[in-house]
Structure 1
Amino acid sequence: MTKIKNLELDYFTAERFVAQIGIVSIQSRIEEDSPLNRRWTSYSEVGDSIYTVEGYAADFGRPRGVDTDILMALETLFMCQGCPGNNTVTTTAYEIVQLVYRNTSGVLYKRLHESLLRLWRVGFMVSWGHNDPEGNLVRFANRSLSLIEAVQFWSQGKRRDSPDLAEIEAHGKLVIRFSEQLAGSIRAGYYQHLNRKLLTELEQPVARALYRILQAHRPPDGVLTCKVSHWGTRCGIIATDPRKIRRTLESAHDELRASGYLAGVEYTGRGANQEITYHYRAAGSADPHLVELLRSVGVAKPSAMQYAAEYPDRVETTVQYVKDRKGTRNKAGLAVDILLNPEKYDLPEALTTPVARAEDAKKATQQSQQAAEQAADAEFQARQAVLLALDPATQWENCCSTIRLLTKGVLAESGLTRLEALCRTGEVSAAELSRRLSASVSKAERSAFMQVFARQHTLTLIEDARRVSSG
């Protein structure tokens, strides 16, 4: 029996491995009522490895299409935030939508919501073994795998509406907690380093998803060959007919050839034995000096090699800027963010061209942020106007969750009960109270306001209830 030597089960958690086995389908659409949208088993042989993946997607369906972009954006932010020990990414829906779609159309927040739920609910059992050319028995290693453990966000919706109708708030805090395996692999440096320039140039989600899978399989000699049916499995394509697989891949192949990533794609053979061969274009090598500069501020070696090759004209100025900043805890994350988004920083002109002049880019960013804030404020004021026009009881039903959350730790339960009665009768405006609480800058400010408000309306505070019980 062929033995798997020195097999580390942690290999299964590597982010690059997640791309190799096609957990996220490159297809943009999968029929909702298809059994393969809920549970599937795929077998493939690519290179010298055999994989069997059993996927369980529960109620939201198999991850697909743009979900790859969402996952990559979250992984990038996780790295830029210093790979926090609690495995979380803290961001906003607005930031993710901008990173992925590069516009902020309202329908995109619904798509983001759906993507996050698919990535959260999917789980896998992966079996892996070496391909034995002599046909002997193969010993398989097996492990369960997940991507996201928890999703936390704010939404707006009527109290009795279906949760599906609630919209994720654009500027509310969005917190994603990766699984321990995935976060650990990124933190340890097993992150798949992709060409961000190429990703922004590729227009189709299917092309970006295929690029990620191809890069995960890229061999040293730049030539990859396998059966079309097995490659379709790796790409998460539901169809098993080689002709349908070829049609699904065609547009992505065209774009990857046009971008210069692929030198060519060849098909040989017929029927079930048909094979596909990819010819990769040679990638530019990184200057060792630039790699060492990035390493000196804590950038992991694989990342340093990638960014030194992609942004050779920015590395020296970036590293100097980071080193000049005193008290920066996450120097590596700052360096990566500067390389990817130089227009966000007040940097020498040489670093920001040809992206934009530093002053113009900074002004444009400020204007964009100001416009986003104004739009969010206008939306909030519009919602408030609608709420204030409702009858007192309906106001309470729409605002009670927010009021309960923001008065937690201040009002006793009896105080909340009396507050509800006052709001339902119209003696207190629930919408106005909710607005005032939400406008508080800090918890201390909110607590001070509620102390005064409670005295004015004879509401029992938690500290009063404790004093009575102890007396």
Structure 2
Amino acid sequence: MTVVKGDSMPLSVSQISIRFDEINLAQASLISFQKRLKPGETTWEHAFEIAGRAMNVECLGNAYGYPHGPDNDLMLVLTNMYLEQGCPSGDGVLTTPYELLRSMGRNDSGKSYQQLHDGLMRLTGTTYRISGWIDQAGKGVRRATFRFVDKVEDINLSGTSLNPKTFGSGTKLRVTLARDIAENLRARHLKPVDLDFMLSLPSNQAGIMYRLLDALLFSDEEAQRTQVLTMALVDWGKLLRLSDLTPDRIRRAIDPPHNELIRREFLKSVEYLGRGSAQQVIYTFNAQRPDHPLTPEQLLLVGRIKALGVGDGVAKKFVRASPVTFVEDRVSLAEAILAHTPNIRRSRGAYAWDILADTEARYAPPEQRRTVERQVPVERPSGKAVSTPKLPPLPDEDDQGTLLELTPAEQWVSARPSLRLLLKNQLSDAEFHRLERLCLDGQISASKLFREVSAAAAKKRLVGFVKGLKAELD
């Protein structure tokens, strides 16, 4: 898990572009997903586990309720203004109501000013008690009690009296953050967050879900590797701070933001498994959104793919769709095959793309193909059937093809890339995730499964084999 650390020098707007979140705030999920609160609804409490540690969060609001909806944007904007202003020693952010609204992407209507006022009152008047608060890595956890905003001051710098109207003309604001939060921001106990993207989402609920999913993905190394995150539906409702935890009500609340996040290509898919309160939500993330700049490694891969004759747009889309290591393997395979294919019947680019996009393991490295060809007996006139080519040894086999003593996890790491390739169009992301669980638990041997899948594919029996495999996954 990467944590941004450093001294307390100011972060310029060009460096930060308002894109950091304090780790505890992100993981504790302090802002309710609800659009509006019921009269008298002022408290909630939740115990859960995240990033390998137990957390318990108590929230006690005031007459304005507790933070929810648009308060999510306000919390992150104030956090980043504090960073931009160099983390002042008094822990205060000096701004204006108009600047706050502009930073949140809101207009300066009377309704917006009223929402800003109410949000500040909720962030100032709500007390949080968090067990599991971390100041810096390696320094243990503690219980912290604070309000996100310690104090809000209206200041008129040009006169001797304030405009009686809240946020009147000429008013400046000094918003003082809680000491616990300010100290962590100064210590750079931060995680990256794409605030511009979050603010561009059409609803507060989509923004809150994005922030929380982004924090969960950041905190889970396994989810980062697989780009899949599984949540129990009711637990997910609690983490979103919903007051009605009926499964159907939870789904009705979260389906619209799901659609928004899929449309904006943050999420690749969302699936539900099971029934009633036992349901799970499986989130599959896109490896990279199309609006993200390509990394130097990705740009190099795009150049290599274009050198094979594939168009620029197709090359970039392919590179964005998968982790760099996977794309590197596919590009290397295509380069090797084309280098050993002097006569190509169709266009070079079309042939290269067929190799890159192959999901049925129809292409093998030239040296592996030669090995298999040597193992195929020559058909004799007697009409006897030609034996099936011997499959190449797995990385976890010795020279005689005997399986080495590997743990289930080691077998899975070895076989996963090939299984992913062979089963990509056969299993959904949720089914492949369940398969991974069974292999890691040792209920299915990943090494044996790879041999069986490879044999079924070679004999054109993959569809039937997968049907049986799916029965095991149910």
TM score, norm. by length of structure 2: 0.50
* CA distance, structure 2, for counterparts of residue 213 and residue 170 of structure 1: 36
* CA distance, structure 2, for counterparts of residue 179 and residue 288 of structure 1: 39
How far the C-alpha of 1:180 sits from its partner, in A, is 1.0
Q: Which residue of 1 aligns with 2:358?
A: none
1:246 and 2:265 equivalent?
Answer: no
1:87 and 2:91 equivalent?
Answer: yes
* CA distance, structure 2, for counterparts of residue 246 and residue 126 of structure 1: 28
What residue ranges of structure 2 are gaps of 5+ in the alignment? Answer: 1-20, 134-139, 157-162, 298-474
RMSD: 2.7
Q: 1:140/1:241 Cα in 2 relative to 1: closer, same or farther (>3 Å)?
A: farther
1:153 aligns to what SS in structure 2?
A: strand
2:175 aligns to what SS in structure 1?
A: strand
Q: Which residue of 2 aligns with 1:108?
A: 112
Deviates more, 1:248-257 or 1:183-192: 183-192
Deviates more, 1:39-48 or 1:71-80: 39-48
* CA distance, structure 2, for counterparts of residue 141 and residue 277 of structure 1: 32
Q: 1:123/1:204 Cα in 2 relative to 1: closer, same or farther (>3 Å)?
A: same
Q: Which residue of 1 aligns with 2:213?
A: 214
Select the residue among 224, 231, 234 that pairs with 2:236: 231
Instruction: State the identity as a percent.
Output: 28
Q: Which residue of 1 aligns with 2:191?
A: 192
| CA offsets 1:74-128 (integer angstroms, 9 cap, x no match) | 1121111111121110000011112224311122111111000100111122234
Select the residue among 32, 47, 51 that pairs with 2:39: 32
Q: 1:58/1:98 Cα in 2 relative to 1: closer, same or farther (>3 Å)?
A: same
1:69 and 2:73 equivalent?
Answer: yes
Q: Which residue of 1 aligns with 2:203?
A: 204
How far the C-alpha of 1:49 sits from its partner, in A, is 4.1
Q: Which residue of 2 aligns with 1:21?
A: 28
Q: Which residue of 1 aligns with 2:173?
A: 174
1:278 and 2:283 equivalent?
Answer: yes
* CA distance, structure 1, for counterparts of residue 39 and residue 127 of structure 2: 18
Amino acid at match of 1:172: T
How far the C-alpha of 1:58 sits from its partner, in A, is 2.5
| Contact 1:67-1:115 at 8 Å conserved across structures | yes
Q: 1:181/1:285 Cα in 2 relative to 1: closer, same or farther (>3 Å)?
A: farther
| CA offsets 1:315-358 (integer angstroms, 9 cap, x no match) | xxxxxxxxxxxxxxxxxxxxxxxxxxxxxxxxxxxxxxxxxxxx
What residue ranges of structure 1 are gaps of 5+ in the alignment? Answer: 1-13, 130-138, 156-162, 290-471
* CA distance, structure 2, for counterparts of residue 89 and residue 20 of structure 1: 23
1:149 aligns to what SS in structure 2?
A: strand
How far the C-alpha of 1:45 sits from its partner, in A, is 4.2
Q: 1:197/1:107 Cα in 2 relative to 1: closer, same or farther (>3 Å)?
A: closer
1:114 aligns to what SS in structure 2?
A: helix
Structure with the higher helix share, 1 or 2: 1
The number of residues matched between the two structures is 256
How far the C-alpha of 1:51 sits from its partner, in A, is 2.8
| Contact 1:45-1:226 at 8 Å conserved across structures | no
2:131 aligns to what SS in structure 1?
A: strand
| CA offsets 1:265-288 (integer angstroms, 9 cap, x no match) | 111112222111211111368758
* CA distance, structure 2, for counterparts of residue 270 and residue 50 of structure 1: 27
Q: Which residue of 2 aligns with 1:117?
A: 121
* CA distance, structure 2, for counterparts of residue 140 and residue 71 of structure 1: 23
* CA distance, structure 2, for counterparts of residue 101 and residue 197 of structure 1: 9
How far the C-alpha of 1:187 sits from its partner, in A, is 1.8
* CA distance, structure 2, for counterparts of residue 95 and residue 124 of structure 1: 27
Q: Which residue of 2 aligns with 1:149?
A: 150
1:168 aligns to what SS in structure 2?
A: coil
| CA offsets 1:130-182 (integer angstroms, 9 cap, x no match) | xxxxxxxxx99533243111001159xxxxxxx9x942225411110001111
1:192 aligns to what SS in structure 2?
A: strand
| Contact 2:101-2:116 at 8 Å conserved across structures | yes
Q: 1:230/1:143 Cα in 2 relative to 1: closer, same or farther (>3 Å)?
A: same
Select the residue among 54, 58, 65 that pairs with 1:54: 58
| CA offsets 1:156-212 (integer angstroms, 9 cap, x no match) | xxxxxxx9x942225411110001111122222223322144224311111111111
Q: Which residue of 2 aligns with 1:265?
A: 270
Q: 1:171/1:73 Cα in 2 relative to 1: closer, same or farther (>3 Å)?
A: farther
How far the C-alpha of 1:261 sits from its partner, in A, is 0.5
* CA distance, structure 2, for counterparts of residue 23 and residue 247 of structure 1: 21
| Contact 2:46-2:56 at 8 Å conserved across structures | yes
Deviates more, 1:24-33 or 1:88-97: 24-33
1:18 aligns to what SS in structure 2?
A: helix
Deviates more, 1:188-197 or 1:60-69: 188-197
| Contact 2:154-2:172 at 8 Å conserved across structures | yes
Q: 1:271/1:180 Cα in 2 relative to 1: closer, same or farther (>3 Å)?
A: same
